[in-house]
A and B are shown apart, each in its own frame.
Chain A
Amino acid sequence: MSLGRTTRGVAAAVAALALGLASSAPARAADIKIGAMVPTSGSEAPYGIDMLNAIRMAADQINAKGGVLGEKISIIPGDDACDPQAAVNAASKLVSQGVTGVVGGYCSGATLPTLKIYGDAHVPFVITASNSTALIGANPGNAFMINSTGYDQVKTAVDLFKAKGIKTIAIINEGDAYSADLAKLTRAAWEKMGDKVVDYEVVSKGEQDFSAVVTKIRAAKPDAVFWTAYYADGALLLKQLRQGGYTGMIALGDGNNSPKLFQLAGPAANGVYCFSNPTANFLPSAKTFTEEYVKQFHQQPGPYSTLSYDGMMLMAHAIQVAGGPDKMKIIAALKATKDFKGVAGPISFTPQNTLARSNFVVLIGQGGKWALYTGPGAPKMP
């Protein structure tokens, strides 16, 4: 091939790429565009798709009732792939597509660098899952976290352990920002009270065989094992813990509250505790949510589906209150949110835009599903 032809070919290819970048998805101009920033590719896709489903469902329900202020809501997904750079790209694309607001945010590490992008564009951002404490300081004021932070969860966990007379615990996380943060906070709180963490483990994401860790835990004999990562690997862990002969208490972090845990773990999940935002299954207010979700997507809602649904509903409510798509007014309306009735409980914000209350409850696995635990050490219901 002659050089001239190659050069021209390459120039054409570059031009085509550049042109492609310039075009964007056609959305009806009249719609209120809401970005849904969640991971829909890569290893975190299962969780992101659970969230996107719920956001879409909320938008469909709003539109079925005539939309917000007479305008339809259209959802524009932004795949952050749980990667900071991809998240930055997704966020700036959403901004350049003229979204009125953004709902989502799953991986804290990926959500973090997008705060500035939404902040600079004054786009209201309702964060529905990411709850790393690092987000609070980096928030320029336009982001609102409707998931309780790690501190609340640790307190719930420690209260339960104390009430159950637990003396020694083992903590296992997956080495990602969220589960490691929770594990670290728990260890600090537990050791501060003079109690012992007899084993502190990190496993690789996607590992299926926990037998070595299980043997180590059995040797260390903790009264309780606390798994701080997500349900998919958590199900395997607790199954192997039980099969390996561990009989003590097992507690799981809020990434495990999905009913899917029971499909994967089977009977091993019975009697297991889980700290959680109030999930849809047992809250009367959320019963219709779950039924609708299962009907539409033929599967149980994921750990953050409820909050994502609430996030979209809250955004629509704020637009309604603001009286139109004026972003500054929407941010002000979000800030002034007082006891917004979410499926997962009422939403109000602290001056730092985090959820004003701990929304954590304790769940217990019973007969293949989650039930609300109300015994000693359970927090008061919202």
Chain B
Amino acid sequence: MSTTTAPAAARSPRGIALTAVVILAALGIPLVANSYQLEVLSEAWFYVLLCLGLNIVVGYAGLLDLGYAAFFAVGAYTAGLVTLKLGLSFWLSLPLAVIAASIAGVVIGGPTLRLRSDYLAIVTLGFGEMVRITVRNLSVTGGASGLVGISRPWLFGYKLNSIGSYYYIFLALALLAVVASHRLERSRIGRAWKYVRSDEDAARAMGINHATIKLSAYVMGAIFAAIGGCFYAAKMTAIAPETFTFNQSLLILLGVVLGGRGKIPGVILGAIVVVVAPELFRDIGSMRMLVFALSLLLIMLLRPAGIWPERWRWG
């Protein structure tokens, strides 16, 4: 869990030790937790994956995306259709979801290349809604009832059927997403993203093709969400359009900004807070979302750049 912006922590023995302890603790949780806690933490790891994916678009490339749930839907529905309608193995849905998400990423990215950030907001929002309404209206996607009875996948001769196994699946996905984000951030394309983010005109003058760079950010973010979506479908065994609303997109964006966009540990933290905090307030009953919203407001006021922000000044 290290970034270019905090190399000292990454290389220091303390940083490595802390990371190791966190991972070991995460691995050991199923030994002590009950199934409710595992459900919530699985969801948290799942959101870490989604938020890190959106962080590529919002954090690294500096583009606003209010329709990210659409890519999550693309993945989930690909998995559902591949296993239910085509009767193929779940694992085959992963490459297909990646292809579908890449196409979706280009479709949404294409029209947005010339737009300012606020127009970007409405285009991505519109795209998200269009995807949701389309899967709601088509009969092949099960209409408003969605797809039911998605079979659970087998891995190494073991059927992934318990919450424990999904806990580890989502933990593994989250760790993969961390490693991938880390590598991407430090790669040539990662630097190009940040360059376009800080000064698009200068980046273009330096010979960076801003269109390709922006599109690649959307596509890469889409792939993260699509892979997550596949496993979400496998875990829930039923998916419906109501999961992929505008609110879902906002929640993922909330995780990214709350934690500190552009910074991997921050985004991880934000994702966990977004999932776990409403659960903490569950016992308050019907006021829980109010308490959640108030705490959210407080955090944003105290730490406007996120709980654990990147050391880059967002203007």
Chain A residues with CB under 8 Å of chain B are: 3-4, 6-7, 10-11, 13-14, 17-18, 20-22, 24-25, 40-42, 45, 49, 77-79, 82-85, 88-90, 92-93, 95-96, 107-109, 112-113, 116-117, 132, 134, 137-138, 173, 175-177, 179-181, 184, 202
B145 & A93 in contact (Cβ 8 Å cutoff): no
A17 & B286 in contact (Cβ 8 Å cutoff): no
B35 & A40 in contact (Cβ 8 Å cutoff): no
Within the assembled complex, what's the spacing in Å between the Cα atoms of A40 and B272?
23
B40 & A79 in contact (Cβ 8 Å cutoff): no
| Closest beta carbon of chain A to B222's beta carbon, Å | 20
A83 & B242 in contact (Cβ 8 Å cutoff): yes
Nearest-CB residue, chain A, relative to B239: A84
A180 & B145 in contact (Cβ 8 Å cutoff): yes
Q: A14-B269, A83-B242 are in contact. Are A109 and B145 (CB under 8 A)?
A: yes
B148 & A92 in contact (Cβ 8 Å cutoff): no
Report, nearest first, the 4 A-B pairs whose CB atoms are least far apart. A180-B144, A96-B36, A92-B36, A20-B280
Per-residue contact bits, chain B 230-250, to A (CB 8 Å; 1 contact, 0 not): 000000111111110000000
A41 & B137 in contact (Cβ 8 Å cutoff): no
Query: Which A residues are CB-close (under 8 A) to B6?
Result: 3
B280 & A177 in contact (Cβ 8 Å cutoff): no
Given contact pairs A21-B276, A109-B242, enumerate 9 new A-B contacts (beta carbons under 8 Å): A3-B9, A21-B40, A25-B283, A41-B289, A79-B286, A92-B163, A95-B36, A175-B136, A180-B145
Nearest-CB residue, chain B, relative to A76: B283
B285 & A77 in contact (Cβ 8 Å cutoff): yes
Interface residue B110 (Cβ < 8 Å from any Cβ of A): no
Interface residue from A6, A107, A184 paired with B143 (Cβ < 8 Å): A184
Query: Which A residues are CB-close (under 8 A) to B159?
Result: none
Q: A21-B280, A96-B36, A138-B148 are in contact. Are A40 and B285 (CB under 8 A)?
A: yes
Interface residue B39 (Cβ < 8 Å from any Cβ of A): yes
Nearest-CB residue, chain A, relative to B32: A22
B144 & A41 in contact (Cβ 8 Å cutoff): no
Query: Which A residues are CB-close (under 8 A) to B148?
Result: 112, 134, 137-138
Interface residue B273 (Cβ < 8 Å from any Cβ of A): yes
Within the assembled complex, what's the spacing in Å between the Cα atoms of A177 and B243?
12
Interface residue B146 (Cβ < 8 Å from any Cβ of A): yes
B149 & A49 in contact (Cβ 8 Å cutoff): no
Query: Which A residues are CB-close (under 8 A) to B308?
Result: 6, 10
| Closest beta carbon of chain B to A167's beta carbon, Å | 26
Query: Which A residues are CB-close (under 8 A) to B272?
Result: 14, 17
Nearest-CB residue, chain B, relative to A40: B286
Q: Name the interface residues of B43-62: CB closer than 8 Å to any CB of A.
A: 43
B283 & A24 in contact (Cβ 8 Å cutoff): yes
Q: A41-B286, A93-B36 are in contact. Are A82 and B242 (CB under 8 A)?
A: yes
Interface residues of A, dominant DSSP: helix
A83 & B36 in contact (Cβ 8 Å cutoff): no
A41 & B276 in contact (Cβ 8 Å cutoff): no
Query: Which B residues are CB-close (under 8 A) to A179?
Result: 144
Within the assembled complex, what's the spacing in Å between the Cα atoms of A24 and B40?
14
Query: Which A residues are CB-close (under 8 A) to B9?
Result: 3, 7
B240 & A84 in contact (Cβ 8 Å cutoff): yes
Query: Which B residues are CB-close (under 8 A) to A21?
Result: 37, 40-41, 276, 279-280
| Closest beta carbon of chain B to A87's beta carbon, Å | 10
Query: Which B residues are CB-close (under 8 A) to A10?
Result: 265, 269, 307-308
Query: Which A residues are CB-close (under 8 A) to B40?
Result: 21, 89
Q: How large is the interface on B (under 10, 10 to 19, 20 to 34, 35 or more residues)?
A: 35 or more
Q: Name the interface residues of B3-43: CB closer than 8 Å to any CB of A.
A: 6, 8-9, 14, 18, 34-41, 43
A108 & B276 in contact (Cβ 8 Å cutoff): no
Within the assembled complex, what's the spacing in Å between the Cα atoms of A20 and B283?
11
B149 & A138 in contact (Cβ 8 Å cutoff): yes
Interface residue from B136, B236, B269, B282 paired with A88 (Cβ < 8 Å): B236
Query: Which A residues are CB-close (under 8 A) to B121?
Result: none
Nearest-CB residue, chain B, relative to A15: B25
Interface residue B182 (Cβ < 8 Å from any Cβ of A): no
Interface residue from A14, A45, A184 paired with B286 (Cβ < 8 Å): A45
Nearest-CB residue, chain A, relative to B12: A3
B144 & A92 in contact (Cβ 8 Å cutoff): no
Nearest-CB residue, chain B, relative to A184: B143
7 sample A-B contacts, Cβ–Cβ < 8 Å, listed by A number:
A3-B8, A41-B288, A42-B289, A77-B286, A84-B240, A95-B35, A138-B149
Per-residue contact bits, chain B 150-172, to A (CB 8 Å; 1 contact, 0 not): 00000000000001000000000
B269 & A13 in contact (Cβ 8 Å cutoff): yes
B240 & A177 in contact (Cβ 8 Å cutoff): yes
Within the assembled complex, what's the spacing in Å between the Cα atoms of A4 and B12?
11
Within the assembled complex, what's the spacing in Å between the Cα atoms of A78 and B145?
23
B237 & A177 in contact (Cβ 8 Å cutoff): no
Interface residue B277 (Cβ < 8 Å from any Cβ of A): yes
Within the assembled complex, what's the spacing in Å between the Cα atoms of A113 and B237?
7
Nearest-CB residue, chain A, relative to B21: A11
Query: Which A residues are CB-close (under 8 A) to B239?
Result: 84
A89 & B279 in contact (Cβ 8 Å cutoff): yes
Within the assembled complex, what's the spacing in Å between the Cα atoms of A204 and B314?
37
Q: A79-B285, A138-B238, A175-B144 are in contact. Are A85 and B43 (CB under 8 A)?
A: yes
Within the assembled complex, what's the spacing in Å between the Cα atoms of A25 and B288?
14
Within the assembled complex, what's the spacing in Å between the Cα atoms of A156 and B302?
59
Query: Which B residues are CB-close (under 8 A) to A112?
Result: 148, 238
Within the assembled complex, what's the spacing in Å between the Cα atoms of A42 and B245?
13
A180 & B8 in contact (Cβ 8 Å cutoff): no
Nearest-CB residue, chain A, relative to B303: A1
Query: Which B residues are CB-close (under 8 A) to A3?
Result: 6, 8-9
Query: Which B residues are CB-close (under 8 A) to A4?
Result: 14
A84 & B279 in contact (Cβ 8 Å cutoff): no
| Closest beta carbon of chain A to B231's beta carbon, Å | 13
Interface residue from A79, A82, A84 paired with B288 (Cβ < 8 Å): A79
| Closest beta carbon of chain B to A253's beta carbon, Å | 14
| Closest beta carbon of chain B to A16's beta carbon, Å | 9
A22 & B37 in contact (Cβ 8 Å cutoff): yes
Nearest-CB residue, chain A, relative to B6: A3
| Closest beta carbon of chain B to A107's beta carbon, Å | 8
A88 & B39 in contact (Cβ 8 Å cutoff): yes
Q: Name the interface residues of B240-277: CB closer than 8 Å to any CB of A.
A: 240-243, 265, 269, 272-273, 276-277
Within the assembled complex, what's the spacing in Å between the Cα atoms of A92 and B43?
13
Query: Which B residues are CB-close (under 8 A) to A93?
Result: 36, 279, 282
